[in-house]
């Protein structure tokens, strides 16, 4: 495990020491829009208005966000209690605010990948867009200096599981409803 953490710290160090000034605002914006999963709810609303997503598909999206956030924020962060990178290494400037909670796993990454999986599975729109947005939001958390790569990787995995569970539950209920049961 120690080698994994050494690589994790080294990767974070490389990312924050190779920032490009022109990307700072973009990365901060990605990080900001990823907070709480709201961007995914807004995207779903736009898709519904455009006729590319059924209204009922908001339910698995909300379920995925709730499942992922609960697992991340209420269970794992308090259990693992990993120190944020800016606390461990105060020499690195944080772009934006400094979160007060624990670092592992990333709630932004959890919500991003949960949202991407649900929209990619249920929306009549190019799935690549959702995956690129999710990856960009997750990466932004390392870039702005508030997470380690392992934090966002774990968050992404949790989000994928939460999204898969929500989509599977939605499809199961839809099948029963469509059969009249």
Does residue 31 form part of some domain? yes
Residue 181 pLDDT exceeds 80: no
Q: How far is CA 18 from CA 7, 8, 29, 47, 86, in A?
A: 16, 16, 18, 36, 16
Q: Is residue 1 over pLDDT 70?
A: no
Q: What is the pLDDT of residue 126?
A: 82
Residue with more model confidence, 180 or 164: 164
Which range of residues forms the domain containing residue 162? 22-178
Is the residue at 108 inside a domain? yes
pLDDT at 150: 97
Residue 40 belongs to a domain: yes
Whose CA is closest to 147, among 105, 97, 100? 105
Q: Please give the structure tokens belonging to residue 55.
A: 């209204």
Instruction: Return the percentage of the chain with pLDDT > 70, whole number.
Output: 99
Q: Under a CB-based contact definition with an 8 Å cutoff, are residues 72 and 105 in contact?
A: yes
pLDDT at residue 76, as a whole number: 97
The answer to whether position 7 is within a domain reads no
Q: How many domains does the chain have?
A: 1
* C-alpha span between 146 and 102 (Å, rounded): 10
- Asked whether residue 48 is domain-assigned, the answer is yes
What average pLDDT does the segment 117-122 reach? 96
**DSSP SS3 for 117:** helix
* Residue pair 40/123 in contact by the 8 Å Cβ criterion: no
pTM over 0.85: yes
pLDDT in tens, 65-111: 999 999 999 999 999 999 999 998 888 889 999 999 999 999 999 99
pLDDT given at position 176: 83
Choose among 138, 144, 142: nearest CA to 156.
138
Question: CA–CA separation, 46 vs 40, rounded Å?
Answer: 10
CA distances to 2, 37, 70 from 63, rounded to whole Å, are 35, 11, 10
pLDDT for 88 equals: 86
Q: What is the pLDDT of residue 155?
A: 98
For the cut 70, the answer to whether the pLDDT of residue 36 exceeds it is yes
Residue 30 lies in a domain: yes
Over residues 124-132, the mean pLDDT reads 88
Average pLDDT score, the chain: 93
Per the omega criterion (within 30 degrees of 0), is the bond before 105 cis? yes
Written as six digits, the tokens of 75 are 């269970």
- Nearest CA-CA partner of 115 in 93, 135, 130, 99: 130
């Amino acid at each position: 495990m120690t080698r994994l953490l050494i690589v994790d710290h080294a990767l974070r160090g490389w990312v924050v020491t190779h920032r490009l000034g022109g990307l700072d605002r973009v990365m901060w914006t990605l990080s900001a829009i990823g907070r709480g999963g709201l961007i995914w709810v807004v995207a779903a609303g736009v898709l519904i208005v455009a006729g590319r997503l059924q209204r009922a598909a908001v339910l698995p999206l909300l379920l995925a966000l709730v499942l992922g956030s609960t697992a991340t924020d209420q269970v794992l962060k308090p259990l693992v209690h990993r120190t944020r990178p800016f606390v461990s290494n105060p020499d690195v400037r944080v772009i934006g605010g400094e979160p007060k909670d624990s670092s592992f796993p990333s709630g932004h990454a959890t919500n991003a990948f949960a949202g991407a999986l649900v929209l990619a599975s249920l929306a009549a729109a190019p799935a690549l867009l959702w995956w690129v947005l999710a990856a960009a939001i997750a990466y932004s958390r390392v870039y702005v200096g508030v997470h380690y790569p392992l934090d966002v990787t774990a968050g992404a995995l949790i989000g994928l599981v939460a999204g898969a569970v929500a989509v599977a539950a939605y499809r199961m209920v839809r099948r029963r409803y469509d059969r009249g049961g």
